[in-house]
């Protein structure tokens, strides 16, 4: 009886860990979609829900006229909100057929990393699990790449 109780306890612990992991993956994925939809749907409530106020976002835009990338472009949280309010307000930047891809690269109990592909290019999102849920705290992005390891 004692052995059965121990085995049952271990089984329950393993199941709880697996369930906790699946929930985290689902929440991290949704946080990533919220980031894309902040811009696509011009919905800043999604940013307030999913982006940490201490955000550090840096990226590079390719200028085809100059055949080179921009210098590093920094964007703190408030600048992200301001851009999201106007970027697709007329619907000309993104629509229902625009790329909206999330790849979960890593999820642990405290941090996570995803790659999102959107109409503007690719972003790597670093997240932290807070009392308010998963929050994007760092973003590194670039405009559409000429090549990628997985392409």
Distance between CA 140 and CA 14 in Å, rounded?
35
Residue 148, pLDDT score: 82
pLDDT in tens, 22-34: 999 999 999 999 9
Residue 16 has pLDDT above 70, yes or no: no
Q: Which two tokens stand for residue 138?
A: 């760092």
Residue 147, pLDDT score: 84
Neighbours of 108 (CB within 10 A): 10
Per-residue confidence at 19, pLDDT binned at 50, 70, 90? confident
Residue identified by tokens 């059965």 is 4
Q: What is the DSSP letter of 72?
A: P
Residue 115, pLDDT score: 98
**For domain 2-143, is the CATH number 3.10.450.50?**
yes
Report whether 143 contacts 62 (CB < 8 A): yes
Is residue 137 within a helix (H) or strand (E), and if so which, with residue range? strand 133-143
Taking alpha carbons only, the member of 91, 135, 93, 88 closest to residue 111 is 135
Distance between CA 127 and CA 102 in Å, rounded?
14
Domain boundaries, the chain: 2-143
Residue 12, pLDDT score: 52
Q: Which two tokens stand for residue 31?
A: 């946080």
Torsion 30-58-64-114 (CA) sign: negative
| Predicted TM-score (pTM) of this structure | 0.88
Of 4-13, 42-51, 94-103, 142-151, where does mean pLDDT reach its minimum? 4-13
Residue 130, pLDDT score: 98
Distance between CA 110 and CA 100 in Å, rounded?
25
pLDDT in tens, 36-70: 999 999 999 999 999 999 999 999 999 999 999 99
């Amino acid at each position: 009886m004692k052995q059965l109780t121990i085995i049952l306890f271990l089984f329950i612990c393993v199941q709880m860990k697996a369930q906790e992991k699946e929930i985290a993956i689902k929440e991290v994925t949704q946080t990533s979609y919220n980031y894309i939809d902040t811009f696509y749907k011009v919905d800043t409530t999604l940013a307030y829900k999913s982006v940490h106020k201490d955000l550090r976002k840096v990226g590079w835009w390719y200028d085809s006229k100059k055949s080179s990338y921009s210098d590093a472009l920094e964007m703190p949280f408030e600048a992200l909100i301001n851009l999201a309010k106007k970027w697709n307000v007329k619907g000309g930047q993104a629509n229902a057929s625009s790329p909206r891809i999330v790849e979960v690269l890593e999820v642990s109990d405290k941090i996570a990393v995803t790659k999102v592909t959107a109409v503007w290019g690719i972003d790597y999102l670093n997240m932290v699990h807070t009392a308010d849920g998963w929050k994007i705290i760092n973003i590194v992005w670039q405009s559409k790449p000429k090549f990628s390891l997985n392409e």
